[in-house]
Chain A
Amino acid sequence: MGVFSTPRRIVAAWFPWWPVERLAWRCPEARTRPFATIGEQRGRLVIEAVNPRAAGAGLAPGMPLADGRAIVPDVIVHPADPVADAHALKRLARWADGFTPRVMPAGVDGLFLDVGGCTHLHGGGEALMAALGAGLGGLGLTSRLALAGTPGAAWALARHGEESGAIVTRSADPDEVKETLAGLPVAALRLDADVVEALVSFGLDRIGALYPFDPGALAKRFGPAPHRRLEQALGFAQEPVISLPPPLPREVRRAFAEPISTVDSIHAAVEALLEELCRNLSRAGEGVRRMRLVSRRGDGARSVLVAGTSRPLRRPRLLMNLLSEKLERIDPGFGIEEMVLSAEVVEVVEEEQEDWFARAETAAAGDGWIGGEGGTGREELAALLDRLGNRFGFGSVACPVPHQSWLPERAVELREPLAAPRRLGPGWPEGRCRPLRLLSSPERVEAVARESGELEPAGAPAFFRWRGRRHRLRVAEGPERLECEWWLEDAPSRDYYLAEDEEGRRYWLFCERSRDPAAPPRWFLHGFFA
C-alpha cells in the first residue's frame, strides 16, 4: 500500500443538544432547568430544541409551545437563532483545528475532522477522539464521535451507531464498513426527510436494503441523492473535508510613510481604516460593538480612543460619526506614524426585525421625512442612541414599559431601546391615579392623620413634615390600599392618599400598616402629581 492510497481517517462529531448547550455558555440555567428554544411555524410557537431535562420531562422538538408548557409549566424558553447557531459552530470548528487543520461544520449540529496524518500526534485515533471528547466536554458540549474512512460513514456511525458510548471507531476497510452500515436506518445517509419517508414507505428502512439495487433504478424513483450518499459513505465517491478560510483580521493598521498631523489627513486615514475593517466584518457576518483606535506618534507616545455602539454596526459612515467627535482628542504632536483600528467586541449581525419602528417607516415613507443615502429612521435613532450612549453610558437611555408588581416603584421595567420588541405585558390597571414623578425610594415623613369627625376621608393626613418643611394639607383623596402578594405574609400593606397642600402642590403619601396591630403606622412621601 503506497503513501498515496493511505486510507482516510475522518472523525464525525455530533452534538445532540447543540443549540441549547451553545446557549448555556451565556445562560447557565439552560443546563440546570428544563429549557427549550422556540420558533414560529405557521403562526404559532413551536419548540425547536430542548435540553436533556426538558426531553426527560417529555418535551420534544416540533411540539407546540402551549402543549410543552402544559407538560412542564416552568420550562424556560429562548427564541431559536439558527444564524447564531451556525456562527457558533464555525467558531467551534476553529477551536477544533488544534487537532487537525482540516475541520468543517457537518450539518447544523456537527463537525467533520479529517485526522488523516494527525492521529500519531495524539497517540492514535482512539486517543485523539478521547482528547477531542474531553475538550468538547470541557466546553460543556455533549458529543458523540465516530472515526471512519469516509465522512459519510463517520456521520452515520456518530448519529445512528448502535454503541451507547460516545466514541465509535471503525476501520476503513470498505467491506467491513459496508457490513457495519448495512444495519443502520436509511436516515443515516444524510438524506432529506421526504426522501427518507419515501424509502421507508417502500420497506427500504435499512441501508443494507439499498445495496442490491441498480443505481439507475434507485435514481428513477428516489432521485440521485440515495445512490450518491451511499457511494460517499462507502468511499467510492470523493468527499473532501474543506477547512474553513482563515478568519479575517478584526484589526487593521496603516503605517504612514510621512507622519500625518493635520485634522483632514487623520480623518482620511480613519475613514480608510473603517472601510477596510467593515469590509472584513461584513464578510464574516459581524458588526462592531466596541472599537479601539490607537495612534502612535513618532516620539513613541500613543493615544487611544474607544467607542461603543448600541447594536452591532458595520457601516463605515455610522462608525465614523461615533469617532469623528473624539478625533480632536488625538494630539498629533510632530506627526502620527501609525494607526491601528481594532474591533474589540463584535457580534453577529442579525436580520432586521419587524417592529413598531418598521411600521413607522412605512407609514412615514409617504411624507418623505426619511432621507439621505440608506438612512432609515431606525438607523437614525440608533445613531442618536450611540452618540448618547458613548457620552453618558449605554444604560442612560431606556424605554420604560409596564411590569407587574404590587409595589409602584417596581411597576416599571426599563428595556434597552433597540432590543427586539417583546410583546408588552398587560398595562397598568385603568383608573388608578399615579403620580408623574415618583421618588425611587419612598421618603419617611412625619404626618398626623385626621381624626374622624374632622375633614373626610378619615385617616388621611392633616399635615406632614418633609425635608424640614411643614405642609398643611387641604384636600385628600383615598385611601387606595395596595396589598402585597398573599404569599408574602409579613409584608405591610400601604394605604395611599392623594393630598394637596395649601400652595397647590399635590403629593402621593402612604401610610404603611404592618400586620402587627401594636406597631404604629409609618408615613411616607412617594410622589408628586401635576
Chain B
Amino acid sequence: MSHVPKTKRRALEALRREIRRIEIPVEVGAACLSLGIPEIDGALPGGGLRAGCVHEIGGDEAATGFCAVLLARAGRAPGPLMWLARGDDLYLPGLVRYGIEPGRLLVASGLRRRADMLWAMEEALRCRALRGVVAEVDALDRAASRRLMLAAEGSGVPGLVLWSEAGRGGAGRARVPTADSRWRVTTVPGAGMARWRVEVLHCRGGRPGCWVVEMDDDGWRALPFAAPVPSAAARDLSRRAG
C-alpha cells in the first residue's frame, strides 16, 4: 500500500472505519457480556463480549476458569447454562468458586469426537432457552466456524470455544476463524492461586491488550500491568518459607 498517497490513505482509513461501524452494530445497550473489569471491558466494543457470537478462549487450566467466570456472568439472567465437555473431569465444586450456581449448569460429557462436539454446540447455540454455552473444541475449519456463528446470531446466545494448549498445536494459531474475539488466558506462575494473565489477541472492533487479573472473595480486578509479577511470587515464596 506504500504507493497510495497519504491523503488517500487517510480517506481509506475513514471509509474503513465507516464500514466497520455499519458491519458491527454495537448500539448502546446491545447485548454484551461484560467482564466486570473496567480496564478490559473498556477495550472491547460495547463494553464486553458480544452475545450472539462465538468467542475463542485458549490457554491452560486458567482458560477453563475464565470460561467459568464468563458463563457465570452470562447466567446472571435466569436460565440454564450448558457446558459441552470432551471428558468427564469437569468438577462443579471447583466451578462454584467462579460464580456458577449449582443446579443451573447442564454438563454434557464424553463428547470426544470433534464432529459430535460441533454438532452439539450448534444445537445448543440454537436453543434460545440457554444463557450461555461453553464447548471444549480444539480447532475448527471456516465452514464449521461460520455455522456456529450463524446459530449464535439467530438465538443471541453467547458461545465460548475453549481449547487447551496442553494438547496439540501452537499457542498463537487461530482455532475459530470467524470468532468475534480471541483470548488467551494462562496462569501466572508462582503467584498464588487465582492470578491469570488475560490476553485479547483479536477482537472485532476492539483493541488487543494484555492484563493480569486477580480473583479473591470480592470478585476480580485487573492489576496494573506493571505489577511486578515475579516479585509477587518471590514475596509469596519468601512468606511461605517463613
Interface residues of A (CB under 8 A from B): 356-357, 359-360, 363-364, 369-371, 377-378, 380-381, 383-385, 387-388, 391-392, 396-402, 408, 411-412, 417, 421, 424, 427-428, 432-440, 455-457, 474-475, 477, 498, 500, 502-506, 527-530
Contact = CB atoms under 8 A, between A and B. Distances in A.
B15 interface: no
B96 A400 contact: no
A399 B105 contact: yes
Nearest to B59: A530
B196 to A, nearest CB: 7
A387 B120 CA distance: 9
Contacts of B242: 456
A530 B195 CA distance: 9
B196 A440 contact: no
A440 B123 CA distance: 28
Interface residues of B, number: 57
Contact of A428 (B93, B103, B196): B93
B193 A401 contact: no
Nearest to B68: A436
A385 B240 CA distance: 49
A523 B96 CA distance: 27
Contacts of B111: 392, 396
Given A364-B78, A402-B102, A438 B189 contact: no
Given A435-B94, A527-B91, A530-B64, A421 B78 contact: no
B20 interface: no
Given A381-B129, A387-B123, A527-B91, 16 more contacts: A364-B78, A384-B127, A388-B120, A396-B108, A396-B109, A402-B92, A417-B106, A434-B91, A436-B65, A456-B241, A475-B190, A504-B186, A528-B61, A530-B62, A530-B63, A530-B64
A455 B64 CA distance: 30
A364 B77 contact: yes
B153 interface: no
A369 B156 contact: yes
A393 to B, nearest CB: 9
A359 to B, nearest CB: 6
A427 B102 contact: yes
Contact of B194 (A377, A427, A530): A530
B120 A428 contact: no
A39 B237 CA distance: 58
A438 B60 contact: no
Contacts of B13: none
Interface in B193-242: 193-194, 196, 236-237, 240-242
Interface string B108-124: 11110000100110011
A471 to B, nearest CB: 13
Contact of B77 (A363, A400, A439): A363
Contact of B103 (A387, A408, A424): A424
B130 interface: yes
A398 B116 contact: no
Given A401-B102, A401-B103, A528-B61, A411 B108 contact: no
The 5 A-B residue pairs whose C-beta atoms are closest, nearest first, are A530-B65, A504-B189, A360-B78, A438-B91, A434-B93
Contact of B189 (A370, A371, A500, A529): A500
Contacts of B93: 402, 408, 411-412, 428, 432, 434
Given A380-B127, A396-B108, A503-B189, A434 B94 contact: yes
Nearest to B240: A456
Contact of B61 (A360, A400, A427, A506): A506
Interface of B: 60-66, 68, 77-80, 88-97, 102-111, 116, 119-120, 123-124, 126-130, 156, 186-190, 192-194, 196, 236-237, 240-242
Given A359-B78, A402-B102, A436 B95 contact: yes
Contact of B92 (A383, A400, A417, A432): A400
14 contacts: A369-B128, A377-B128, A396-B111, A397-B108, A398-B109, A400-B102, A412-B92, A434-B97, A436-B68, A436-B91, A436-B94, A504-B189, A504-B190, A530-B61
B174 to A, nearest CB: 23
A504 B194 CA distance: 12
A530 B77 contact: no
B79 A439 contact: no
B97 A504 contact: no
A234 to B, nearest CB: 59
A461 to B, nearest CB: 14
Contacts of A440: 88-89
Contacts of A529: 61, 94, 193
A399 B126 CA distance: 20
Contacts of B107: 397-400
B193 A437 contact: no
A505 B61 contact: yes
Contacts of A364: 77-79
A427 B96 contact: yes
B185 to A, nearest CB: 9
A28 B44 CA distance: 59
Contacts of A400: 92, 102, 105, 107
Contacts of B78: 356, 359-360, 363-364
A9 to B, nearest CB: 57
Contacts of A438: 89, 91, 94
